[in-house]
Amino acid sequence: MNRLISSLDERKIIYRLNEPMKLYTTFKTGGPAELFIIPRDENEIRAIMRLCYELGTEVFVLGKGSNLLVSDDGIKDKAVIYIGENFDYIREIDECTFEAGAGASVASVCKYALSKSLSGLEFAYGIPGSVGGAAFMNAGAYGGEVKDVIELCRHITDKGDYGQFSASELDFSYRHSVYSRGGYIITGVVFRLKKADKRQIEDAMSDFITRRKDKQPLEYPSAGSVFKRPEGYFAGALIERSGLKGKRIGGAMVSEKHAGFIINYDNATTTDVINLIKHCQKTVKEKFSVDLETEIKFV
């Protein structure tokens, strides 16, 4: 790690040592990142990736941390590359197409689409997280998925080369994309939407955000839905039928509003959250013989 830090210093690339990850996750938990790198542009990402490849340093890419649980011990022996405000942009390509930087929030992209009377992203309004994260995991809600509106993704490879995948190459499926296998950093996403009545788009967005506020515990730190949807079931319903609404372990709690959410109710640690996840999985397995697979990424 010292060799990597020296190389970053030589190139004047910004980094921080022992940066608290709880500042960068929506769960507000997690220990420090040993090395936290903040690239200013794609050229710096290329340089960082080449250095890490040459030195054999593992990389972890961080966006808005909305689907992430970081160990209480933090992230050691990995370079955390933060794709944040420096990659927060939206650029018009043509009347129905635009590119958003991987660090842009999903909410800002939805608002941009509304301003241009473009339909197709209404379902995503209220999804936390970044555009890069949404593409990485094929984020979806209310019957929509980003795979339906993404034309291509731009990326940098683990060897520091530019590249891109078209929609047909992205291997989208439920909460999965080609990027799930690792080896790339998404830098930008091109969306293609359709012209529609602005009032109708706004009404649909308003409806979706109202449903979220009514049904989801948005007032507490969380990472959204904890579990993937088991075939033929709904994870939240199984957890509720197991009598686990309001179940607490340490400062973590199964939301009383929506059992598919685990919330940081009272200064929870990541260990609290993980133990509660395991308890839900064990209980649902015993009662319904259904395996709950997590949607959240563990680091």
What are the residue numbers of the active site? Answer: 175, 225, 295
Helix, strand, or coil (residue 18): strand
Helices and strands (H, E) in the chain, number of each type? 7, 19
- Give CA–CA dist 205/224, Å, rounded: 18
- Give CA–CA dist 172/235, Å, rounded: 22
Is-contact 1 44, C-beta < 8 A? no
Query: Amino acid identity, residue 255?
Result: S
Q: Which two tokens stand for residue 21?
A: 């990850």
- Give CA–CA dist 56/4, Å, rounded: 10
Torsion of CA 14, 17, 20, 25, to 10 degrees: 40
- Give CA–CA dist 26/299, Å, rounded: 14
Task: Give the β-pairing of 58-62 and 75-82.
Answer: parallel
Q: Which two tokens stand for residue 88?
A: 């927060």
Nearest to 186 by CA among 210, 209, 162: 162
DSSP characters for 96-148?
A: TEEEEETTSBHHHHHHHHHHTTEES-GGGTT--SBHHHHHHHT-EETTEEGGG
